[in-house]
Every structure is written in structure tokens, then in C-alpha cells.
Chain A
Amino acid sequence: MAKHPTPLLDQLESGPWPSFVADLKIGAENRHKNEKGLELQIPEDVIDDLLGVLELSFKDGTTHWKHGGIVGVFGYGGGVIGRYCDQPEMFPGVAHFHTMRLNQPSGLYYTAEYLEQLCDLWDFRGSGLTNMHGSTGDIVWLGTRTEQLEEIFYELTHTYNQDLGGSGSNLRTPACCLGMSRCEFACFDAQKMCTDFTNEYQDMLHRPQFPYKFKFKFDACPNGCVAALARSDFSIVGTWKDDIQIDQEAVAAYVGGEFAPNAGAHAGRDWGKFDIQAEVIDRCPTGCMSYEGGKLTIDNKECYRCMHCINVMPRALRPGKEKGASILVGAKAPILDGAQLSSLLVPFIPAEEPFDEIKEVVENIWDWWMEEGKNRERLGETMKRLGFQKMLDACGMEADARHVQEPRTNPYIFWKEDEVPGGWDRDVEEFRKHHQR
């Protein structure tokens, strides 16, 4: 028998999509059964009370979590999101309901053994509720009490060699696409770079020292499977510099219908026979492809590597061999100044271990932004306020036509004084010798 009636939530148990309500009810039941005889360290009815408070929110259309919450573990300035219910008498099981962020392995691969160990710890000291995963990438443990935080952290680090993720005005937990582990498009080892950067900058991740949050994301090609250029301040996107590799026999197999276009991604509908002219050549955004006499040619100098032709014919076309990455910076959500996607800063940079060239860019940007960024100003906003040119200066980079989608339309152009012959220090009396008042 459930602790609280949940007539509204019960209506989310039907329908085909996995029901979080049904799952939570099982979780609540399993806590009551407690088949392993655990000495549960937070209330047995934590999930019942979560369902109770959620039902209340469904009834009155407002949240029932108090504002904010500042909790954590010694040595770190982040990693735990404190949360307290605003009806603790009604729902004592969730009076404290803090979230812990655990730094996930790059690419989100696991063994059952490891996940079960984590589940054992979380059932014992937390609610048994999780998010797999938070949007930034962390394993999210949803709901425990303050006095358990150090205990959980101690066991995580001592028994499981597992650290917390980031929160606050710091480097947040980096994330990547699955990269070379299971994708033929990967132009660099996104998992390796993600892991390496996470380890290199642990201090920045655990101890807030920035004007505001800062995120890294690593996409191994321009398809953007981890959405780096929309969801990270520093976005690394794999690319190549030489020619797309063409297998003409495989092209013929696509034209002949042996291979399904786009690896069969549109198989659920009859789009007609594959038409290489209509589906590839004519869709190429730069018009740099042609198909004549049964031969596909690409004017690679004009290709901007959007991935369309490779996506459509993955068995015939492959990225080039001279691989690396582009760096784009400044993405953020709307608050305060408006949403931004990342802007291109470095068109091409080597992406091999130990990734020193990329780290140099990171550290130059941090040196600049940590000094110049205002309180709670994202990198993208600092760029808007001070100008893209200031960031180029900070990174010691030359301006390049690739840095813009188009040149400026207004003529409000700043010059550096030393660019102008004679400088700015002038005598109006000298001017008056030639121009009477």
C-alpha cells in the first residue's frame, strides 16, 4: 500500500513509453522489502515521499523545493546540489533531497559489475533514484541527506576509485561523443582527450575559481553527437584537412541499390530509388561534387566538410587522413544576453596526445577570462562585451577570414594607436596654423 495516494501520477503509468512513475513505485516497494537487510541510512520511504511531493506539484502546478541549498564535501567547492522540500512535515522522507554528481567514464561505457557496485552504495546511503545521465554528462544520484555526503564520498574514493563531478562557477564535467570506440567518422580520440582534459584540470573542476561556469565538450566530427558547439564554452570538433577518401566501387554499389543510403536510416518509408544526383550532388552545400560517367569526383578545396555525403554513403566515402580538430568557443543558453552557439576560433589544430596545442589555447583563454570576465559572465558574453578581437589578442592569434560568417557592415572600426602613423597625441594649436577658427 502506497504511503500517499497519487491519482494524477498514476495516469502516467499507462502508455508505451517507459513510465518513471511505475519505476519509482518499484523502487519504493524494493526499499520496503529490503531483501538484502540493509541498514538504510536515509528514510525507507524516501521514494514514497518523493511521489507524494510530486503529486502535490501536479495538483497545484508549482514546485515544492525550497530555494537553493549549499552543501558539499570538504576540500571541494562543488559537486553536490543541495535541496530541501518546502513541506518537510508532510514529506519528511525528502526534507533533505540532495543530488550528488559523479564523474562519468568518457563515452558512457560501463560494466554491469561496476554499476551494481554503485547501486549497492546508493541503495544503502541514498534514495536509489538516479538520472542516467545529467545533461552535462554526470551520473546523477538524486536524493540523500547532508550527513551522508562525506560517507558516500569516502566510499566512492576509497572503494570505487570514483570522483565527483563539477558544479558552481568552475570547470564542469567534460563530456564527449563515443568517438573512435564505435564510429568510423571519428577524426580524433574524443574519449582519450575528454579523459585527459578532465584529469589535467581536476583543480579547476572541484574548486570554483572562474567568473562563472565553463564547459568542455568533445565531438569527433561535425555531426555533433554530444552537441559540443551548442552546449560547451570550449567546443572541440573533429575534422580533416586533406581529401575525402572515395571508394568508386562502393559508390557504384549505392547507385546500383546494393547499399542502402544513409546506412538505412530512412528505411521506414518509400523515398524511391537512391538518386545520387538529387540526394548527394545537388544537396552538397558548396556544389563541389559531380557524378559523371559513373565516377564521383569532389573538388576538395571547395568542400567545407559538412559530412552530408559521408553520412549518406558511409561505405563509399570516408573523412581524409590528415585529421585534427576545430576549436569553437562561447556557447551558452539564453540567460543573460541571449543564447549563443560557439564561434570558430581555431580552424584546424592537431588533436594527438598529449594535446598540448589545445591546452595552450584553453589556458590563454582562461588567463584572459578569469581576469576580465565579470561576475557571472559566461565566456560567450565576455566575447560580446569586449570583442572577438580581444580574445584573438589574448590567444596570440592572427585574424582570419574563417573567423567570420561575414565582415562587419557598420564602419565603427577601432584602430590600435600604433597602427596609425603619428599616433593620437596631437596639438590643436598646430592644427589651427592651417585651419582658422
Chain B
Amino acid sequence: MAFVSSGYNPDKPMSDRISDIGPRNYEEFLPPVIKKNFGKWLYHEIIEPGVLMHKAESGDEVYTVRAGTARLVTTSYIREACAIAKEYCGGHLRWTTRNNVEFMVESLEDAKKLKETLNAKTFPGGSHMFPVGGTGASISNIVHTQGWVHCHTPATDASGTVKVIMDELFEEFTSMKMPAILRIAVACCLNMCGACHCSDLAVVGYHRKPPMVDNAYLDNLCEIPLAIASCPTGALKPSKMELPDGKTVKTIAVNNDRCMYCGNCYTMCPSLPLADQEGDGIVLMVGGKVSNRISNPKFSKVAVAFIPNEPPRWPTLAKVTRKIVETYAAEAKKYERLGDWAERIGWERFFEKCELEFTHHLIDDFRDPAYFTWRQTTNFKF
């Protein structure tokens, strides 16, 4: 492969450089019916799973067909979506904040044809390319992260766990049988890039072993004070040690008893790796939400302290997830989010109904606020 220049001159890097132009203006990309009725929508209806209708003051209607995607997609896939948009939607399409793709048309008939077309497209192996759904009281797409595909700090994989859970709960994507929407998120370490701290159900990659210290290299590769300051529990301190070759180096001492394996020191310092096949796995959290509907936004809480990594199909994760979802669906009242339900019945009842073991790992012990999560009342259920 021969190098092909774009016109950029590496000898004069700053000549002819364009910068600070920002994104393309969204107005360039709006479908005509959207542009015409911008800010003048009257109401909407969910016609059927995956199909929305918006009515404008002008009487105009726009029908939106929503389809799931894997988020990690090739240009081949994007071109396929573009081809559909060109055939049905005048070449317009959009993505959602949960990484579904939406196609807009101006009649119900076109929307139904489009839904049929989208549902008929499959990959080799049989999975859907554009399954239609994700509207109303359903389980829509899983907001997720990079995992083993691109990141250096994960404790689990994102694309794999997401595929497993969505396969397990696929019927809930294509129907609207839940008491309320149930949002699932996956983050492969507790940096929680994305939405894990505020989702109905969240999968978080977790380590269970303190970092290894690469003493011979640490002082050359790390700013030691930065690594020390990165620890939420003060488990690290600067130290000196003698290497086998007799050389004394500056390094970091890890107090294993104070380390809770968050991995933040590795983020700061390449000489403190901690990934481990048996140690690493998943923490399952539940009950978070971001909307202000009825109850205030909530953080998700730890429901399962550890589920092992079981690639490629993570069967334990799939099973536990399904059990929680089914119990919530059967027990919660209409409009009740998972966190609303758990708080109403009490967490002691949540664990009983979902058949989850309550272990010491679930009791907060992080600084002052931990106290407020214990139970300062005799109001509990047997």
C-alpha cells in the first residue's frame, strides 16, 4: 500500500490548517417535514412497538421507525442504513441517545413497509440487522463502553455482554409489556463511562485483586504523586526498594488491605496493572434513573457483588438479569421504575423476590455517607 497524501504538508504543518470549525450544523440534515414543523409539534402516539407518530400544528405527521443497532458498527453497516434511508426516507436518518437508529417517513403505510423491510434484514448467522422496537415501556438498547475491543482498563467486555443480555431479553425490545421503561447500561470498569450509576439495571466490570507493581519501570513511566493521589482509600504510598540487580529505585507500596481494586492508579500509572482472569468479573447494580418523573433521579445500587466473566455467552449474567427483569415486570405497578418498586417494597423484599443473596459486600463502607445507607429505624419487614 502506497502512502497517499491528502494535501497536508508535514514540512509545514501549520500552513493551510483549518481549526475550530466545530460540528456540522444540524439544520443541514433535518428531513423537510421536521424542518417545516420544528418547534410546532402537538402530540405523539406510539402506533406499535418501534413506530412513533408525531402530529404538528400544521396537521403534518411524521412516522418514525426505530431499530436496534450494536453501536460498534462497520462502514458496511452504516452504508446499509443509508441505502434504506435513500429508498424510504429521502436520504434522511438519525441516531438516538441510546444508539438506536431512526428512520422517518410521512405515512403510516410507508412506516409499516419500512418496519417489515428492517425486520427482514439479517446477518449471516441469523441475527437481525435492524430489529424494530425500543419504544414505550420496553427494554431498549444498552448504553455501553469499549471493553476488550479498545480500552486498556476494562475488567470485562462490553460488546459481548451487551449482545448476551439483548439476546436474552430480545422479546422485551420488540414489545411494550414492562411497567415502565427499563434502561440497561454496561460499563467495563468503574470509571462508568456512560450511564451505569443511573440506570435501572447496570453491569459494571470489577476487579478483585490489588495491582501488581512493576518496580523496575515505575519511576520511569509514572508521576508517582499522581498515582498516590488517585487512590480513593489512601492505599498507596511512595517507597524505595532494591531491585535484584542491587539498584535502588523509587516506587509505590500498595497496602493490599486498604485497596478495593478500583483500578484508578493504573489509569494514572502504567506500572500498576491489575487485570486478572479469575479475579475480574461483574458487579450488578439496579434502581437508578435520570428522569424527574414522579420520583427524583436516583443512583443505582449494588445488587450482586460478583458474577464471574464467562465469555463468550456469560450464562450466569444472562440468568440473573432475566430473573430481576421478570420479577420486576410481574410485581411492579404501572409507571413504576425498577428503583421506585424496590424502594416501595423495601430492599429486603427486593432481594427475597429476586432470589438474590445479600452479602456483606453490599453494605456501604465508603466514608461518612455510608452511615446514611444503614437502617436507622425499626421499620423493616421480616
Contact = CB atoms under 8 A, between A and B. Distances in A.
- A and B are partners in one complex rather than unrelated chains: yes
Interface string B136-178: 1110000101011111111001011001101100100101110
A9 B73 CA distance: 16
Interface string B283-294: 000000011111
Interface in B296-340: 297, 299, 309, 311-313, 334-335
Nearest to B263: A335
A231 B195 contact: yes
Contacts of B151: 63, 65
Given A11-B313, A130-B75, A338-B369, A267 B191 contact: no
Given A224-B297, A307-B291, A12 B23 contact: no
B332 to A, nearest CB: 12
A27 to B, nearest CB: 3
B382 interface: no
Nearest to B48: A267
A262 B181 CA distance: 12
B380 interface: no
Given A23-B123, A182-B62, A334-B190, A67 B309 contact: no
Nearest to A198: B22
B86 A184 contact: no
B295 interface: yes
B43 A314 contact: yes
Interface in A357-375: 375
Contacts of A130: 72-75, 78
Given A198-B23, A375-B226, A17 B128 contact: yes
A233 interface: no
A155 B76 contact: no
A267 B176 contact: yes
A108 B94 contact: yes
A105 B311 contact: no
A186 B39 contact: yes
B295 A285 contact: yes
B178 to A, nearest CB: 8
Interface in A329-361: 333-339, 341
A424 interface: no
Contact of A225 (B70, B97, B160): B97
A209 interface: no
B94 A12 contact: no
Contact of B192 (A122, A125, A143, A334): A334
Interface residues of A, number: 146
Interface residues of B, number: 145
B19 A76 contact: yes
Nearest to A102: B23
Contacts of B4: 39, 41, 124, 151
A114 interface: yes
Contacts of B215: none
B127 A13 contact: yes
Contacts of A107: 26, 94
Contacts of A260: 45
B94 A154 contact: no
Nearest to A239: B292
A223 B293 contact: yes
Contacts of B82: 112, 115-116, 119
A163 B19 CA distance: 7
A66 interface: yes
A12 B167 CA distance: 10
Contact of A335 (B6, B262, B369): B262
Given A129-B74, A184-B42, A112 B85 contact: yes
A27 B95 contact: no
Interface string B23-47: 1111011110010001101111111
Contacts of A375: 226, 229
A199 interface: yes
Contacts of A22: 123-125, 127
B26 A191 contact: yes
A162 interface: yes
A327 to B, nearest CB: 15
Nearest to A377: B229
Interface stretch (A53-61, A289-297, A395-403, A428-436): A53-61
Given A15-B170, A64-B148, A336-B232, A341 B25 contact: no
A115 B78 contact: yes
Given A16-B167, A16-B170, A182-B62, A266 B197 contact: no
A227 interface: yes
Contacts of A152: 6
Interface string A43-77: 11001001000100111111111111000001110
A66 B151 CA distance: 9
A258 to B, nearest CB: 12
Contacts of A113: 91
A154 B7 contact: yes
Given A97-B150, A334-B192, A341-B297, A27 B76 contact: yes
Interface of A: 8-9, 11-27, 30, 39-41, 43-44, 47, 50, 54, 57-68, 74-76, 81, 83, 97, 99, 103-116, 119, 122-125, 128-133, 135, 142-143, 147, 150-155, 157-158, 160-163, 173, 175, 177-178, 180-184, 186, 189, 191, 195, 198-199, 202-203, 206, 222-227, 229-231, 260, 262-269, 271, 279, 283, 285, 305-308, 311-312, 314-315, 333-339, 341, 375-376
Given A43-B1, A308-B293, 5 more contacts: A17-B163, A19-B123, A111-B28, A129-B75, A265-B137
Q: Across chains A and B, which 3 residue pairs bring their CB atoms closest together, nearest first?
A: A13-B125, A265-B136, A27-B74
